[in-house]
Structure 1
Amino acid sequence: MTTLRPGDPAPILVMATPEGETRIEAPATPMKPTVLAFFKAECTTSRLILPCLERLYQAYASENWRLLGVSQDDPETTQTLRQSLGLSFPIAIDYAFQSSTAYRLTHVPTWFLIDPHGIIQKISVGFVREDLEFLSQQIARHLGQEPIPITQDRDPAFRPG
């Protein structure tokens, strides 16, 4: 959960690279929608949603949108998770939970769809199949492509975070 709502400006991100360098950045990218996905390695729902986000990343491989995973774990745990799930999309470390606090998170996984002007368009908490397919449709529409399903038949319709 979060108290942020669609239409709110997306907060600034304070993250660390896997190498430990602190980075502050605006979530908006000119001309590109951004998907921020907060997760934690020990969360089974996070482990369910991350492969769907990887399929999204692979299906719409393009410089015209951005996916950023935001891990609430240390770099070693994050790297182990990345390898075990075969994740190739960029992941940053939530330095001292500053970004999670700025985004007012109470549960993970939570993802945000942010427009190029830094305005939150969609928020989804937990695993919500319908929301993930909506996300795929929005990225496809932005790229002028046909949407590709990113969830699988065996995935539940909903699982809380």
Structure 2
Amino acid sequence: MGKSKKKRSIIRFTVLFAIVCAIGYTIYANAASEQGAVKVGEPATNFALVDLEQERFELGQNQGKGVFINFWGTFCEPCEREMPYIENAYEQYKDEVEMIAVNVDEAPLTVQSFINRHGLTFPVAIDERREVTRAYGIGPLPATILVDEHGIVQKVHTGAMTEEMVHEFFQSIVPDA
């Protein structure tokens, strides 16, 4: 009887300890993810990256135009699925909306091969040090940030997009005439 009580006490303690650890981790993870996260209605964090065509893209120099920012990776299946949708919308809206696809820290050759394979024509930059990714609080990929012509974040979307969503997102940041 004594061994059984001791065994139950150890099991209870272990379960309680695991629950406390899980709650602690959840609180920590939520607090950490909020640190760099952009918020709808607030000014977008300025950044500058050089795309694969060696053109400098600086968010702050796009006042007067909406900006579609897509964070992605070649390893990300949802990212790959939405690329044709983004390409089509880019072709339709490129005179009214700026677009930058920010690859999260992959080798330039890998990224260029992906671009060639999919026939992408929109600007793609690699966030080699993940500085922009961290500044925007990006976690899972894909992630899309919509910035209006005044530099204000209008939408933060994490996860895959349908073709309809991509077109709606581009349309939503076309500046009023």
Q: Does the CA-based 8 Å contact 1:28-1:34 persist in structure 2? A: no
The 1:75/1:27 distance shift into structure 2, 3 A limit, reads farther
Deviates more, 1:64-73 or 1:23-32: 23-32
The 1:24/1:138 distance shift into structure 2, 3 A limit, reads closer
- Which structure is larger by alpha-carbon Rg, 1 or 2? 2
The 1:27/1:70 distance shift into structure 2, 3 A limit, reads farther
Q: Does the CA-based 8 Å contact 2:51-2:57 persist in structure 1? A: no
Structure 2 unmatched ranges of 5 or more: 1-32
Q: Which has the higher helix share?
A: 2
Return the TM-score normalized by structure 1: 0.75
Identity, % of aligned pairs? Answer: 28
SS in 1 for 2:99: strand
Tell me whether 1:12 sits opposite 2:46 in the alignment: yes
Deviation string 1:53-92 (CA, Å, 9 cap, x unpaired) is 0010112241x32011111122111101101111000111
Q: Which has the higher strand share?
A: 1
Supply the distance in 2 between the matched residues of 1:131 and 1:28 (Cα, whole angstroms). 26
Return the TM-score normalized by structure 2: 0.69
Q: Which residue of 2 aligns with 1:36?
A: 69
Deviates more, 1:49-58 or 1:9-18: 9-18
Superposition RMSD on alpha carbons, in Å? Answer: 2.6
Supply the distance in 2 between the matched residues of 1:24 and 1:55 (Cα, whole angstroms). 21
1:14 deviates by 4.2
Q: Match for 2:124 among 70, 74, 91?
A: 91
Q: Which residue of 2 aligns with 1:77?
A: 110
Tell me whether 1:100 sits opposite 2:133 in the alignment: yes
Q: Match for 2:148 among 106, 115, 133?
A: 115
Structure 1 unmatched ranges of 5 or more: 145-161
Supply the distance in 2 between the matched residues of 1:44 and 1:96 (Cα, whole angstroms). 22
Q: Which residue of 2 aligns with 1:46?
A: 79
Supply the distance in 2 between the matched residues of 1:143 and 1:9 (Cα, whole angstroms). 19
The 1:85/1:60 distance shift into structure 2, 3 A limit, reads same
The 1:113/1:27 distance shift into structure 2, 3 A limit, reads farther
Q: Which residue of 2 aligns with 1:159?
A: none
